[in-house]
Structure 1
Amino acid sequence: MIETLLENFTPENNITIWLVAAFVIAFFVAYQTFPTILYVAKEKHLMDEPDSRSVHSDKTPTLGGIGIFVGLIVVMTIIGAFLNTKVLLLIMGGLTILFFLGLKDDLTVLSAGKKFMGQLLAAGLLIVFTNTRIIGFSMIMEIDILPYWISIIFTLFVYILIINAYNLIDGVDGLAGTIALCVSGIFVYLFVNAHELSLATIAIALCGCLLAFLRLNFSSRNKIFMGDTGSMIVGFLLAFFTISFINMAQLDGSSPYFRASPALAFALLFYPLMDTLRIFFLRIVVHKTSPFKADKNHVHHRFLRSGYSHLMTTILISGINVVIIGIAFNLLHLNLNTQIILLLLYGSVLYVLPFLIKKIH
């Protein structure tokens, strides 16, 4: 009976059941994994020690990325046989590389150079062996198709940018997880519409893992951080989703996102990219220091200093990012350069509003 069911079952004809199953498996596995991680972290004293940059006063486990990784790998292993196994295996390879690099960084210390090389290796595997890359600028500043090697190098740059931009916003309870949850949910919608079930499955599995993680990340008694392990693998997947979406749109002239995919991708990740650009500007131009020197000048730090709680900061930043994405979807008919200029304008204004409202009150 089971053999007959497996032979006749096709995910494409049962998309809703398939995606719900992937979500439930990922959530359940991660949900059951986190208590064990908490127990081991506390017993072995694998905790984050608060320092001058911390916004927490208590020691907290930083191994939440393990639960996210396990949930993703279990989903891809169990249901991978039905999908594009080449893509899944390469993603699993990239995730594994970053998982062990992040774990070493969370447990001891890993140099920025080694992390950078690991990120390049993980991204390079996917770019070269799946040929998933940004093939052009879609006429941004009148630039269309890029030469192959420039396309490779630019795509690698985008991977590194997104992975590290995502890592930089992991400074407030729930913020990184909530942003990734919202963005991954939208990618599920985009990939289903593009008939890319393998990518939709990974995206919804990530949603399940993140939802299980956020339960503890918001907790006051059993709090856990995703750490570098989590931020690198989640950032890597968000970068892969972004580049895959742009690549699919650029190769499909009938796609509604054919010319608009770069603007929509920028909107999806507006907060981490905007915050990274802003923090680098402050460090290099204003403070005359290294762009990689950690400080407390991120937008989420400004929210906290203005009197917003961790929860309110996360709600406001995530909510604004969702509004920005909603506006971007409604501007797809405009010229791409116009979309990007407007995005920079209304995105910046929306993130200034909470501070103006706070001053008025």
Structure 2
Amino acid sequence: MNIVLLISVITLALILNYVSIKKKLFLNFQGDNHQKFTSSESIPLIGGLILILSSYYYLNLTIFSYVLFIFLLGFFSDIKKFNSPKLRFIVQTLIVCIVVYFSSITVTETKIIFLDQLLEYDIFKLLFSLFCILIVINGYNFMDGVNTLLIGYCLIISSSLYYLNLNDIEISQIIDFYNFIPVLLALLILNFFNKLYLGDGGAYFLGLLFALCLINTYQINNNISPYFIVCLLWYPAFENLFSILRKKKIFKITTEA
């Protein structure tokens, strides 16, 4: 593990934490309600900025250009410059659609016969990949409401893929996990001690990044079961579904009252 990078990220984050609190920038009370559950303190939403600033060490320029726009969408949401959830989702969909189209990172097989037959059609493949990635992105955003949950989850996925790579199993080269794991570990430590939150920007960034990485891992290595990929992404998908059902129940109670 790159210890120098770990220490550098922690140092950078502490400096940004101090500046943010001093200047009252990017604080958690400016974010959405799901970011208020962990602490009554004003915690800077700078996790996404740290991921962007350190991305030189673990992302190539092409992938960076893909995930930058989804980060900016979340960042403007964090600073309350993009408040409409519906409009945000539309822009999110357009960004992901462009990324999927130009990167050619799509779901090609599921081992479910009727789905695989439909995936032979390019338009269905694009729409299905778009649907899956949007679920992951928004599921990651819901997970960001509890300290260390999202970062810890990403750290588990990263460690699993890095272990496969060390055992000569080909994985996606989208992320350099040797350098990415120290970044996540630094964020985990700082998030545990309430020094930062990821914010929507960080959650969107990680959601798109891991969705692309895991889909691409299966694209280049058919020896890996698609169910393995599904298992790694199941929790954010479940979190998304649970949140939708919970909101629907609340809506019913409100209308009955």
Q: Does 1:271 align with 2:232?
A: no
Number of the residue aligned with 1:107 = 79
- Listed as ranges, the matches of 1:144-183 within 5 Å are 144-145=116-117, 146=119, 147-183=121-157
Alignment CA distance shift 1:164-1:67 (3 Å): same
Superposed, which structure 2 residues align to 1:39-58 within 5 Å?
39-46=18-25, 47-49=27-29, 54-55=36-37, 56-58=39-41
Query: What's the % identity of the aligned pairs?
Result: 24
Match of 1:334 in 2: none
CA distance in 2, matches of 1:66, 1:210: 13
| Aligned partners of 1:26 and 1:206 also within 8 Å | no
Number of corresponding residues: 245
Superposition TM-score, scaled by structure 2 size: 0.83
Partner of 2:250: 287
- Which blocks of at least 5 consecutive residues in structure 2 are unaligned? 253-257
- Native 8 Å contact 1:191 1:200 kept in 2: no
Name 1:63's counterpart in structure 2.
46
1: distance between equivalents of 2:207 and 2:76? 17
Structure 1: give runs of 5+ residues left out of the alignment.
1-19, 77-87, 290-361
Within a 5 Å distance, the mapping from 1:1-361 to structure 2 comes to 20=1, 23-24=2-3, 26-46=5-25, 47-49=27-29, 54-55=36-37, 56-76=39-59, 88-110=60-82, 111-138=84-111, 140=112, 142-145=114-117, 146=119, 147-191=121-165, 193-196=168-171, 198-201=173-176, 203-219=177-193, 223-249=195-221, 252=222, 255=223, 257=224, 260-261=225-226, 263-284=227-248, 286-288=249-251
TM-score, with length taken from structure 1:
0.61
Offset from partner CA, 1:139-197 (integer Å, 9 cap, x none):
x1543241111001110111111010011011111111101111122122345644346
Greater C-alpha Rg: 1
After superposition, the Cα gap between the structure-2 partners of 1:30 and 1:121, relative to the gap in structure 1 and judged at 3 Å, is farther
Q: Deviations over 1:69-106 (max 9, x none)?
A: 21123443xxxxxxxxxxx3331112211222222221
* Secondary structure class of the residue paired with 1:49: helix
Instruction: Compute the displacement of 1:29 (Å).
Output: 4.1
Deviation at 1:204, TM superposition (A): 3.9
- Contact kept, 8 Å, 2:58 with 2:180, in 1: the verdict is no
The answer to whether the 8 Å contact 1:42/1:61 transfers is: yes
Between the aligned partners of 1:244 and 1:234, the Cα distance in structure 2 is 15
Distance in 2 separating the partners of 1:52 and 1:244: 33
The amino acid that maps onto 1:49 is: F
CA distance in 2, matches of 1:244, 1:91: 12
Change (3 A) 1:52 1:187: closer
Q: In the TM superposition, what is the alpha-carbon distance from 1:129 to its structure 2 partner?
A: 2.7
Mapped to 2, the partners of 1:172 and 1:127 lie a distance apart of 30
Q: Is the 8 A contact 1:170 1:176 kept in 2?
A: yes
Query: Would you say the 8 A contact 2:172–2:214 is kept in 1?
Result: no
Inter-partner Cα distance in structure 2 for 1:105 and 1:267: 29
